[in-house]
Structure 1
């Protein structure tokens, strides 16, 4: 079971750090470094975890629990993504946030499988 948790952790952090780099490179190639930097900066959305008690609970799903991971917040990220001009900072920020939420959702699903 510990090995499965290790796999889950590897997938989670790979999707948080490496996959955004691939997305930036393949979809925003002329300015992929800027895009990847913005995607990485959207990790700051996890600051909302500091308001939780305990701050880190490996069995807690972030989606729907933390304020910046709420369904309302995700809806706002989607609206900004749809309205922002492609390649602008707002477009990249909202895409990064949506991908972050997808990654956290997948982690929740894997967590329920690997328990």
Structure 2
């Protein structure tokens, strides 16, 4: 989204998303069957905001559009959240699990 008035302009933009992936495996061995499972989740959001001032505009020979020079001042916000979890053990016996998250 953007807006413009005379030499001033402003714009804002945002994007976000979610992803999840998991795996569950059984591994047969000579003594027993092992079970391993893991899941990963990612959430993210990013947004930009800026203010622009046009310093000048000059027409150049052989070009349809003029050359312009401006300055920007703005900010960017980024958010990431990651969650990981894993579980392992012998099928039919005690399962051990662990998880971690970071924002």
TM-score, normalising length: structure 2: 0.19
Higher relative contact order (CA 8 A, sep 6+): 1
**Whose Rg is larger?**
2
> Which structure is higher in strand share?
2
Please state which structure has a larger fraction of its residues in helix. 1
